[in-house]
Amino acid sequence: MRCKPRRRVASFKLNPALHATAHLACFGVVLLTTEMNRVAAPADVLLFFGKSPMNITKLIFSLLLTCSALLAHALDIQPYSAAALAQAQKTGQPVALHFHADWCPTCRAQTTVLQSLKAESGLNITVLVADYDAEKDLKRRFNVRAQSTLVVLRGDKETYRVVGDTSTQGLRGALKSAL
């Protein structure tokens, strides 16, 4: 038996990745409940969880929390700190060092590309932005000779190095080398 929902409970504006994940989660709920022979249509999913708007709101909220938890593993950009680098290397997590200078146009272009990559899921890596002019010991340690250098690490092992690349594909590939 099909019934029409009486009123609209909530309206959310989601980013495209979260929106797609929410659709997949709702599809999974429909499949699960259809398998249980409890519902036959997406509109009936609402009845399955109760007629109360509060129950529907709880369902939507829990789906959004689940989806955001799935997307939480994305590109994280932070200022460089020796403690953050040591922790990532100790635990074997992927980390990238971006040697950045404020006066460098290539560095600014790389920063723009890295910011755009934050919206992509699947890039579970931390980018530590190091000041090229101030972090002389760090430059010496990683043998960095030019600003706009991105050194990608997995634990103590260097997996990729990029100098001056401002393409989205190039930086994405470099970051994925450590995953």
Give the pLDDT confidence score for residue 58 in this predicted structure.
62
pLDDT band at 50 (very low <50, low <70, confident <90, very high): low
pLDDT band at 74 (very low <50, low <70, confident <90, very high): confident
Indicate whether 113 and 161 sit together in one domain.
Answer: yes
Q: Is residue 24 part of a domain?
A: yes
Indicate whether 136 and 166 sit together in one domain.
Answer: yes
What is the span of the domain harbouring residue 47? 16-71
Indicate whether 56 and 118 sit together in one domain.
Answer: no
**pTM beyond 0.85, yes or no:** no
Give the pLDDT confidence score for residue 121 in this predicted structure.
85
Indicate whether 85 and 127 sit together in one domain.
Answer: yes
Domain boundary pick from 71, 87, 107? 71
Angle (CA) 113-93-129 rounded to 5° is: 40
Give the pLDDT confidence score for residue 53 in this predicted structure.
58
Strand boundaries in the chain, DSSP class E: 76-79, 94-100, 126-131, 149-154, 157-163
Indicate whether 97 and 21 sit together in one domain.
Answer: no
Structure tokens given for 51? 């007629």
Instruction: Supply the mean pLDDT for the chain.
Output: 76
Indicate whether 121 and 45 sit together in one domain.
Answer: no
Angle (CA) 173-99-128 rounded to 5° is: 70
Indicate whether 132 and 51 sit together in one domain.
Answer: no
pLDDT at residue 111 above 60? yes
pLDDT at residue 49 above 80? no
Tell me whether strands 76-79 and 94-100 are parallel, antiparallel or unpaired.
Answer: unpaired
Q: Are 151 and 159 in contact (CB under 8 A)?
A: no
Domain boundary pick from 71, 87, 108? 71
Residue that wins the pLDDT comparison between 36 and 159: 159
How many separate domains does the chain show? Answer: 2
Domain boundary pick from 71, 99, 114? 71
Give the pLDDT confidence score for residue 54 in this predicted structure.
58
Q: Is residue 11 part of a domain?
A: no
pLDDT band at 12 (very low <50, low <70, confident <90, very high): very low
**Helix, coil or strand: residue 157:** strand
Q: Which residues of 14-40 are buried (b: 16+ CB within 10 A; e: fewer)?
A: eeebbeebbeebbeebbeebeeeeebe
For residue 126, which of 64, 168, 81 has the smallest C-alpha distance? 81
Q: What is the CATH number of the domain that holds 155?
A: 3.40.30.10
Indicate whether 167 and 96 sit together in one domain.
Answer: yes
